[in-house]
Amino acid sequence: MRLSEVESFLSKVSGYYVEDLKTLLKQPSISARGEGIDGCACMLRDFMKDAGFRVEVWKIGDANPVVYGEMPSNSPKTLLMYGHYDVQPPEPLEEWVSPPFEAVDSDGKITARGAADSKSNVMAIVKAVECYSRLEFDLPVNLKVLFEGEEEIGSPNLPRYVEMYRDKLKADAAVCFDGGLDPKGRPELWLGLKGMLYVELKCRAARVDAHSSLAPLIENPAWRLIQALTSLRSPDGTILVDGWYDDIRVPSEEDIKLIEDVDYDTLLAGLKRHFGVDRFLSGVEGVEALKKLLFQPTCNIAGLYSGYTGLGAKTVLPREACVKLDFRLVYDQNPYRLLESLRRHLKARGFDDIEVKALNFLEPSKTHPSASIVKAVSSAASEVYRSKPQIYPNSPGSGPDYLFTKRLGLDSVWTGCSPPLSNAHAPNEYTTRESFLRGILFAASIIEHYGGLDW
């Protein structure tokens, strides 16, 4: 069996592959600041060439580069695999147990920004292909990979890349290898992702900050912004903008059947334990909590700032207040239409002095559970991890999956090999040697199972 041969070979080279992962982790690639992006793309290109890929680095204007690779075969099937090499900013630096770009390896745990999200996933794909190349095996599918450098800032330019290189990206199915394992170590398979509308609201009052004694006379933009925010959302999370729920098409009967098989008690208990909370919003529990997590649109305050926030007291009336909001969207809400609904809502309630700036748009995505790629990835997960994967009809997170399902017309599964609750987007992000090495086998098994399916 070819996968057993891949596993045997991997056992001999595992130390080298872990060192290659650490090399990639040591290279900063912070898309929010443009730090190290080009260097990381070039490093990834070189790793892919060494693995046997035909590699191209695509560059459009000032967009971060996309690293694209192909491994052709004689198969009539083509699989497209997606990942991203950019990472979140590491701040706050003082909370890291080791510098975020040193990739400290201690007792099999590798701590670094991007270790889980998502350089270990990217390198798992690359090293899976390298195993085939070193063993001189032909792949059972034509494999295409697309690694972008802007996922952590909402993939703003990926639609342009997909449109420009549409012919190159023709495939029969897609796997977005940017996920991970549940608290019991089982792969999670997401058959859709939430969309997102990310906006900044800004309110200005005076030309300069004022002494707070002038509060009876001068409008405080912070209060003004708070009043606008309370008009958007009720305490239980319901969004109060007219028409916000009109286009929602989930959950379906198939969605409900899928979540009946999910070990949601373990998932929810793990979330409470990890974040140190005793209860969820509005006291929701059990399957109803899972339904809210997967199928409810959200209005979240991601950042709020105004006036003086330093140590001690400063009696100031700020001239400006700003809030960043992310709205998670479910199938089939449209972020562009909802932006206009938000603007109408604020204007109708007298908040036309509040500036609305859109920062990011992502559409929701969905793949039917009966799709062949779902069967292939599920079989691969069972084979490598010796347990049935957790299959979710939708993810509470967002990503550019819609470009594959809606723009390219592909069925798509979102999965990966990152360890559970691995501090992605937080200090002390980590992966483990075991997670990475088994992820290589997982990627190889997906390729094998998809190649072996009868059409």
Q: Where are the domains of the chain?
A: 2-192+365-452, 195-248+297-362
> In sequence order, which ranges of 280-371 are alpha helices (DSSP H)?
286-295, 335-348
Looking at the chain, the whole-number percentage of residues with pLDDT higher than 90 is: 96
The pLDDT of residue 1: 60
Mean pLDDT, rounded, for 169-188: 96
What's the mean pLDDT when you consider all of the chain? 96
- Which of 137, 115, 110 is CA-nearest to residue 10? 137
| CATH ID of 195-248+297-362, from 3.40.630.30, 3.30.70.360, 3.40.1010.20, 3.40.50.720 | 3.30.70.360
Task: Convert the pLDDT of each residue in 73-121 to its tens digit.
Answer: 999 999 999 999 999 999 999 999 999 999 999 999 999 999 999 999 9
The pLDDT of residue 452: 87
- Which of 322, 34, 271 is CA-nearest to residue 152? 34
**Are the CB atoms for 265 and 289 separated by under 8 Å?**
no
Task: Convert the pLDDT of each residue in 357-373 to its tens digit.
Answer: 999 999 999 999 999 99
Task: Convert the pLDDT of each residue in 248-276 to its tens digit.
Answer: 999 999 999 999 989 999 889 989 998 99
- Which of 438, 344, 451, 366 is CA-nearest to residue 81? 451
pTM above 0.85, yes or no: yes
Tokens standing for residue 321: 């207040």
pLDDT band at 140 (very low <50, low <70, confident <90, very high): very high
Collapsing DSSP to helix, strand or coil, 62 comes out as coil
For domain 2-192+365-452, give the fold. Aminopeptidase (3.40.630)
